[in-house]
Structure 1
């Protein structure tokens, strides 16, 4: 059945503009939050403990409660094909089911917090271990709120509500920053002293939990106003719509739930490396800030489109949408990754190097940023393909691939950590994502009766070559600026970063314009028209 939507459907570019603006605001607040953590705690005990304690609550919030997570994807895939009046009952039933299961997960984290921390942080110092255990117990209820937020995101997305989806995550950042500001006002420079590490760790944990609760409350109010479900308990788990959600959600959730296992494996190998766990958090945020914005722009409009084209007679159009998603991923992620590789040191210096964050931390985080930059296209490209399988009602295939990747990740971690250190663990993740893309494409080729491999691969390879050229131009510009202006001073570093980045983007834009990729040209034209109109 087709959903009856009272509002006219927006264009891809129109949705992208809304999502881009809201997500940019949210990600800027996320960056400010991480800057506040870096300045207050550096890579000390409070931040290191938080890195381990946040593994399960954080990934539940990001994956289950995140935009484009499995719950969001499952809800959109089902509601997009149903009438509006059916939504409330379905959403309430799914909420009852998911909420009950995640309550069990919440209590399990509280009771087994010490064992969980010991598993993922086998080399932690006793003081850091104690902080991490208490942080995990405080943040355990985020498991429940993660599920509720994910269901709400899917419900609002299916109802063409994009602004709140993209901007509400800033609430988690605001609460943490406020908590750090209050603590800094009371302790001043003493905040970095070891004896205050426990207090700092508690501020991080309570601030994170408060942000998740606020995020859920805000979207719940909008759901109620739109008539898309309340807190009413429903147990009609055998209804066709709920069963379809379960068929997509269950393997997708388990598959996504394996991500913390991969992260825990990385942290296991990283725990003997001083400051590596906190370094991962800082580098990951620098990647996730632009990646989150771009992934929302691409995935949010495409997921309902994939769902509406899931029938065999619509597969030719579905393939065109998949190509559009992959090419937009390539044209954004490849040059961005190249710039992160070329400009890793000044990026980290400008964003983090102040307060407790010293030159040694810059060297560690910049090396990790290089490794993350190499794999940015693989990260988002995999997500595009996984959403195609969700839209086709197939959550089993991504689940099987994720299961295989747990073992592959552990093997690659073991091989790469010795020669490359902490960056080797990121390179292992890049290898896992690349293998996922290959397997997903091969299986999608069989599922959709063939894919136009040449039409997809040639422009992507061209964009890859153009990104390498742009990265080289950016790095050459940076070296030239450093010889002229030196490397000291935040203003000089920021100026060099802007100039070098601009040169790289200009070179890549010139190359893309010569390639004349239809999807890219149409998207850019529509975005330009929308901006000029505003």
Structure 2
């Protein structure tokens, strides 16, 4: 019989566990980024780190992330496997993936210099860029083992999710934040204010890279005990290619990995253009974290519980229920991300000032980061909506279609980057990404519409349009409230900034909620009622 979840939980219970764990992890991630901003600002050390992190960091996201291809493939196959086959299956997959990624780790170390040149060719055009390049090469060599760890972490996430363990996968990224904070704390104790000096950029960069690697090691190690306890094996060499389920995992995993990998190629394309714009890579990192924090929390809350449900409804006789779950995923994504994105756009400048503006992060840094944050806010819903639709294809056992769409998107992203950067500068990098995600969402939804015998797209579209209008009204009110309150306050202190943002944000969300409830969309009413109930507690 298939591996049973221990004990069965409702989608709401799973979402609550994932939300709490992810929120805690994201809070630590934000504190980590604040510490980096105070220590390095948009200077050389963090600018170099963003280029060095491209390969190991994207592998960690690509292979080791929750809802990534490894996680999705493992959950999809283990939910259909017998209990006695689980451990040998997982150990075989771990062995094969480990051998492949060990070779990739060695290649990254050997070819770190040309890799940085490939990622950021613009660094070679100035003397300051050459310094950034040299630091980035050292950082990449330090973080190269994260390529190997990424595979192990992704497999661990999949096995734990299949065993109905959601807390640890959602909270484990916290370890990386903690190790970086400890590393920066030790560096500050050793150097004090000298840490802000340019001559210590290389030292700071090495500590940043090393502490990031240690965090990835811990993220993997904490998974092993519960994985073994759940009966999914441990860190054991095993090659049993003919075991049932092994080829099915790789059948889903391989195209899904390539498909997700093309998204990372798009990020590389963004950094290629960013390398010709001073401070753009660092600014992308800071703005990206602010946008991805709410996105990451709500993405896990929505996608983690829905992925096993999609898989169980993949048979044609269940497609009626599957369509309802797709609707649920899209409208929950819209009700969460449309108002969030609109508020980020309306309050981008005060948000950046409140979170980052201290230490080495000054007002000029705030300006460029705020402009990028505005662009990110525009695309939060299409980012999550695209992920919902992609997961449906994975649940249907089809990783090939998203892969082919993603291949085309590489060309599209390059063209949009060139056009948008030319007209908008650094924010154009994010506008291009939003355009690619919107195109992917529309194309894949159209394919799914034909494959499942029709989806009520017009009905869904009107609901999303209504939520978009409600979000715009809420954002407009938030902007008016912030302008009025901040202008009337005599002080520009941290407390005054928090007060103005809190009132403006709360007013904007209240306006959105009042208008959204009048739309009488069941998913929105459920989503808002659950939030209200939790806040009352």
TM-score interval for Structure 1 and Structure 2 normalised by the shorter chain:
over 0.9
The CA distance in 1 between the partners of 2:28 and 2:230, in whole Å, is 28
SS at match of 2:121: coil
Q: Structure 2 residue aligned with 1:372, among 371, 376, 381? A: 376
State the Cα distance separating 1:489 from its structure 2 match.
Answer: 2.0
The CA distance in 2 between the partners of 1:128 and 1:459, in whole Å, is 48
State the Cα distance separating 1:154 from its structure 2 match.
Answer: 0.6
In the other structure, the counterpart of 2:38 is 39
* 1:346-495 pair list within 5 angstroms: 346-485=350-489, 488-495=492-499
State the Cα distance separating 1:239 from its structure 2 match.
Answer: 3.0
The CA distance in 2 between the partners of 1:203 and 1:435, in whole Å, is 40
Q: Structure 2 residue aligned with 1:151, among 137, 152, 155? A: 155
In the other structure, the counterpart of 2:67 is 68
Matched, 1:88 2:92: no
In the other structure, the counterpart of 1:326 is 330
Contact preservation (8 Å) 2:63, 2:151: yes
In the other structure, the counterpart of 2:4 is 4
CA gap 1:83/1:521 in 2 versus in 1, 3 angstroms: farther
State the Cα distance separating 1:490 from its structure 2 match.
Answer: 1.7
Contact preservation (8 Å) 2:95, 2:239: yes
Q: Deviations over 1:397-422 (max 9, x none)?
A: 11111111010000000101011000
Runs (5+) with no aligned partner, structure 1: none
Contact preservation (8 Å) 1:81, 1:307: no
CA gap 1:10/1:528 in 2 versus in 1, 3 angstroms: farther
Contact preservation (8 Å) 2:39, 2:360: yes
Matched, 1:254 2:258: yes
Matched, 1:512 2:511: no
Q: Deviations over 1:467-492 (max 9, x none)?
A: 11111111111111122115722221
Contact preservation (8 Å) 1:180, 1:204: yes
Aligned length: 532
Contact preservation (8 Å) 2:2, 2:83: no
Runs (5+) with no aligned partner, structure 2: 124-128
The CA distance in 2 between the partners of 1:386 and 1:488, in whole Å, is 45
Q: Structure 1 residue aligned with 2:502, among 498, 502, 510? A: 498
The CA distance in 2 between the partners of 1:128 and 1:71, in whole Å, is 33
State the Cα distance separating 1:194 from its structure 2 match.
Answer: 1.2
In the other structure, the counterpart of 2:341 is 337
State the Cα distance separating 1:449 from its structure 2 match.
Answer: 1.2
The CA distance in 2 between the partners of 1:454 and 1:413, in whole Å, is 31
In the other structure, the counterpart of 2:199 is 195
State the Cα distance separating 1:531 from its structure 2 match.
Answer: 7.3
In the other structure, the counterpart of 2:54 is 55
Contact preservation (8 Å) 2:4, 2:79: no
What is the root-mean-square deviation of aligned Cα atoms in Å? 1.3
SS at match of 1:450: coil
The CA distance in 2 between the partners of 1:481 and 1:193, in whole Å, is 37
State the Cα distance separating 1:530 from its structure 2 match.
Answer: 6.9
The CA distance in 2 between the partners of 1:143 and 1:18, in whole Å, is 28
In the other structure, the counterpart of 2:126 is none
What TM-score does the superposition give when structure 2 sets the normalisation length?
0.97
What TM-score does the superposition give when structure 1 sets the normalisation length?
0.98
In the other structure, the counterpart of 1:312 is 316
SS at match of 1:240: coil
Contact preservation (8 Å) 1:340, 1:373: yes
The CA distance in 1 between the partners of 2:535 and 2:233, in whole Å, is 35
State the Cα distance separating 1:443 from its structure 2 match.
Answer: 0.7
State the Cα distance separating 1:524 from its structure 2 match.
Answer: 4.2
